[in-house]
Structure formats: structure tokens, C-alpha cells
């Protein structure tokens, strides 16, 4: 089957050893409201999310801090007709002051407060997957896991997740309340999780949800050193997206383009197919604001890379020296703790 042909049913995957079954690709909803320039208008966002459901996507990712609050409201409204058919993940862990993110806060009372507010905005009875957005060094992870365990016992949350946590934190949290999924950045543009995180998740039976699986858009092949991002686009402050680094990093896009040409696919589809081929418990969540990109991403589930092709990609990328940090310095401090 060619990747641009619609598969009759989206494949399903289970996150680790949990009972949480989701579509093989999810939809990251952040960019509809936050992070990549101006938010889309509400109806456009609703239409895109509902189009994803029509194409078999059952896994939707949001957070209270996206907006803040507006992304959860959008997701809640868009998915209201599909209660019980979809899985919604949201996140706690930041302070919000005057409508802006204002540092970390994972105190148990804050976690409970966020859960109650998110349930209302999302118009649901229970949060399917509740992630700690970033590890808070001021609150022991055991206390965080314990607070989520209480919410699970009360039926307000179904599964516990972590985002961008380090291996030791994952182990400590998992000992208190089993972690269903870890969400962190992972793609051919950022392979660091392969060193320590993936083996830890495999050992503990935890699913992996890569965000930015297309390298914040870079692996689509639609960005080069001349691309100008809108004001308010997060990529303007990301070192890896400086003009010089973009020019140097095009080697990985060229590689994907060559393979895509042989597979009658696109660079983005090959990048997603590569991720899906890494482990059966990996569920990438590409985000987009455009319907044709949504359909292109969904086509990735029908791109079969052979073991030799995967090996060729791995060998080629491991010889490349991709330039630039994935976050500016102040945000790098929040990851891998």
C-alpha cells in the first residue's frame, strides 16, 4: 500500500505493560494554541482535532500550561462528542501567574487543584493519563507519585505519566505508583533517549510517547536556513534552529528525502516510520495546525521500513554531527532530572 492511501483502520499500540491502548500515532495539540506563533481560531482547531478522530487517532495530548488553559478548553470542546472513544493526556507541574507560566510547582495540593480544573476544562470525569510536566526538585518524586495514586484511587485519574524525567526519577516514581508512560523528545533529530531512557522503560514496562517526533518541523524538509519563523514561535530561541545550525543540520533531511523517494513517501513519513519501528510501545505525537499535514503524518503508519533500511538510517545518522542544543540554557535545566 502506498503511504498516501488511507488505511481502513489505524493501528493500535499499548503503552508498556499498562492496559492503556491508543492509536499508533497520537496528536500533540499544543501548537494549536501555543508555542508556534499565533493560536489558530477555535473552529479551525476543533475541525483539525475531529478530523484526527475520523482518521482513527484516539490519543490526544494537551496541558494546562498551553495557553495557559486555552488548549485544554479547545481539546475538551472538540472531543466532547467522542467521550469514551478517545484517550486524553494532560499535565501538571507549573505555577501559573497572571496568565503566564511562572516556575515549577508539583506540591500534592497543587496537583489536586490542577486535576480538578483540568477535568472541568476537558469536560471529562477522569483524566486518562496525567503527566508531571517537568520534575520539580523541591518536591520528592515519591510525594508526586503518591498524590497521583490518590487521584487514581478516587477515580479522577486513570494513569500516571512523567515528562522529560531522568532514569533514577522514573524508577523512584514507578516504585510508588506504576508509571504508564514517559513523554520526552525523541526523533532522528534528537536520539539521546536511546542511551539510558529506552532501556529503563523497557525494563520497567513503561510506554514511551515522543513529542517533537519531526524535530519541531525540521524533519519535514520544509525548513531550511532561509526560513523565517513568526514572532512568538518558540523556535526563534532554540539554538538548534539558528540559521547556521539549520544549514549544517540539513544533512539529516537530505538522507530522509533520499529514502522517501525510494519508498514513494515523504521525509516526515519516513521519520515517523523510523520511530514507530524502534519499539512496539512507542507512540509518537506529532502536532500540526494543517489538515493535509495531519493526513500526511497518519500515512506514516503504512510505511514499512526493512531492518536493513533502519540500519542504514541509524548508521548514517550516527556519523552526522547535528549542531545546536535542543533548548535554550534556561529550559535545558528542566530536563533529564
Is 237 inside any structural domain? Answer: no
Per-residue pLDDT at 6 exceeds 50: no
In the annotation, is 66 catalytic? Answer: yes
Q: What is the pLDDT of residues 60-93, one digit of tens each?
A: 999 999 999 999 999 999 999 999 999 999 999 9
Q: Decide if 249 contacts 273 (C-beta within 8 A).
A: no
Is 195 inside any structural domain? Answer: yes
Q: What is the pLDDT of residues 174-206, one digit of tens each?
A: 999 999 999 999 999 999 999 999 999 999 999
Is 142 inside any structural domain? Answer: yes
Owning domain of residue 150: 12-214+279-304
Per-residue pLDDT at 7 exceeds 50: no
Per-residue pLDDT at 245 exceeds 70: yes
Is 224 inside any structural domain? Answer: no
Per-residue pLDDT at 101 exceeds 80: yes
Q: How far apart are alpha carbons 327 and 333 in whole angstroms? A: 9
pLDDT confidence tier of residue 1, bands split at 50, 70 and 90: very low
Reduced to 3 states, what is the DSSP secondary structure of residue 324?
A: coil
Q: What is the pLDDT of residues 253-272, one digit of tens each?
A: 999 999 999 999 999 999 99
Is 226 inside any structural domain? Answer: no
pLDDT confidence tier of residue 247, bands split at 50, 70 and 90: very high
Q: What is the pTM of this model?
A: 0.96
Q: How far apart are alpha carbons 119 and 164 in whole angstroms? A: 23
| Residue 333 backbone phi and psi in degrees, to 5 | -65, -20
pLDDT for the residue 2:
43
CATH code of the domain containing 299: 3.20.20.100
Is 264 inside any structural domain? Answer: no
Exactly one of 66, 131, 186, 327 is catalytic; which is it?
66
> What is the residue whose three cell numbers read 475541525?
47
pLDDT for the residue 165:
98
Is 329 inside any structural domain? Answer: no
Is 111 inside any structural domain? Answer: yes
pLDDT for the residue 8:
42
Domain count along the chain = 1
Q: How far is CA 211 from CA 137, 282, 286, in A?
A: 23, 11, 7
Q: What is the pLDDT of residues 276-317, one digit of tens each?
A: 999 999 999 999 999 999 999 999 999 999 999 999 999 999
Q: What is the pLDDT of residues 227-242, one digit of tens each?
A: 999 999 999 999 999 9
User: DSSP readout, 23-76?
Assistant: ESS-EE-GGGTSSBSSPPPHHHHHHHHHHHHHTT--EEE--TTTTTTHHHHHHH
pLDDT for the residue 4:
42
Residue (of 81, 66, 9, 60) closest to 287 by Cα position: 60
Q: How far is CA 35 from CA 27, 62, 87, 232, 252, in A?
A: 15, 12, 23, 7, 24
Amino acid at each position: 500500500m502506498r503511504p498516501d492511501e488511507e488505511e481502513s483502520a489505524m493501528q493500535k499500540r499499548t503503552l508498556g505493560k499498562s492496559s492503556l491502548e491508543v492509536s499508533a500515532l497520537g496528536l500533540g495539540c499544543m501548537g494549536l494554541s501555543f508555542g508556534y506563533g499565533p493560536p489558530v481560531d477555535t473552529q479551525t482547531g476543533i475541525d483539525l482535532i475531529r478530523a484526527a478522530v475520523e482518521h482513527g487517532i484516539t490519543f490526544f495530548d494537551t496541558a494546562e500550561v498551553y495557553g495557559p488553559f486555552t488548549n485544554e478548553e479547545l481539546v475538551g470542546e472538540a472531543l466532547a462528542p467522542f467521550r469514551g472513544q478517545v484517550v486524553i493526556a494532560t499535565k501538571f507541574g507549573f505555577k501559573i501567574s497572571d496568565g503566564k507560566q511562572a516556575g515549577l510547582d508539583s506540591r500534592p495540593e497543587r496537583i489536586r487543584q490542577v486535576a480538578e480544573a483540568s477535568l472541568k476544562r476537558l469536560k471529562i470525569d477522569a483524566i486518562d493519563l496525567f503527566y508531571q510536566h517537568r520534575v520539580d526538585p523541591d518536591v520528592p518524586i515519591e510525594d508526586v507519585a503518591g498524590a497521583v495514586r490518590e487521584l487514581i484511587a478516587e477515580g479522577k485519574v486513570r494513569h500516571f505519566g512523567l515528562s522529560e524525567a531522568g532514569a533514577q526519577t522514573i524508577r523512584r516514581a514507578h516504585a510508588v505508583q506504576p508509571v504508564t508512560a514517559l513523554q520526552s523528545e525523541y526523533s532522528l533529530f534528537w536520539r539521546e533517549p536511546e542511551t539510558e531512557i529506552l532501556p529503563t522503560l523497557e525494563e520497567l514496562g513503561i510506554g514511551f510517547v515522543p513529542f517533537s517526533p519531526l524535530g519541531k518541523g525540521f524533519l519535514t524538509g520544509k525548513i531550511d536556513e532561509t526560513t523565517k519563523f513568526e514572532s512568538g514561535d518558540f523556535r526563534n530561541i532554540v539554538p538548534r534552529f539558528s540559521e547556521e545550525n539549520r544549514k549544517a543540520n540539513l544533512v539529516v533531511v537530505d538522507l530522509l528525502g533520499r529514502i522517501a523517494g525510494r519508498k514513494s513517501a515523504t521525509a516526515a513519513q519516513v521519520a515517523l516510520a523510523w520511530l514507530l519501528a524502534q519499539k512496539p510501545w512507542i507512540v509518537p505525537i506529532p502536532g500540526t495546525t494543517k489538515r493535509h499535514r495531519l493526513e500526511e503524518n497518519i500515512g506514516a503508519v503504512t510505511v514499512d521500513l526493512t531492518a536493513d533500511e533502519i540500519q542504514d538510517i541509524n548508521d548514517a545518522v550516527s556519523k552526522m554531527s547535528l549542531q545546536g542544543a535542543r533548548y535554550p540554557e534556561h529550559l535545558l535545566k528542566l530536563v533529564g532530572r
